[in-house]
Amino acid sequence: MYTDKTIKCRDCGQDFIFTAGEQEFYAEKGFEHEPQRCKDCRNARKNRTTREMFTAVCAGCGGEARVPFQPREDRPVYCSECFAKMRDE
């Protein structure tokens, strides 16, 4: 059967217990990986409401594109409208 396991949280570095019951639940749901974060850090990630947005020039229309990632020079960035057109084609 399952036994409690101590895991170090990848965000805060604190140890947390992955209980036998949680392990059984994970197995029943077919989850293949153990949790990487403690309960507090998982909740903090879920409750993030603001994302840092970056501005770039759209490779399709030349307009402004706001994206949730740091654009790179070697990859095109598209505004929402151009991205939707490309996806529909």
Q: Are residues 62 and 36 in the same domain?
A: no
Instruction: Compute the average pLDDT of residues 71-83.
Output: 93
Cα–Cα distance between 27 and 10 in angstroms, integer?
A: 22
Of 18-22, 50-54, 57-61, 62-66, the range with the lowest mean pLDDT is 50-54
- For residue 54, what pLDDT band results from cuts at 50, 70 and 90? very high
Closest C-alpha to 38, from 57, 19, 21: 19
Q: Which two tokens stand for residue 27?
A: 């197995």
If one counts the domains in the chain, the total is: 2
Instruction: Compute the average pLDDT of residues 17-41.
Output: 95
Q: Are residues 42 and 59 in the same domain?
A: no
* Percentage of the residues of the chain whose pLDDT score is greater than 90: 76
Q: Are residues 30 and 10 in the same domain?
A: yes
Which domain covers residue 32, as residue numbers? Answer: 5-46
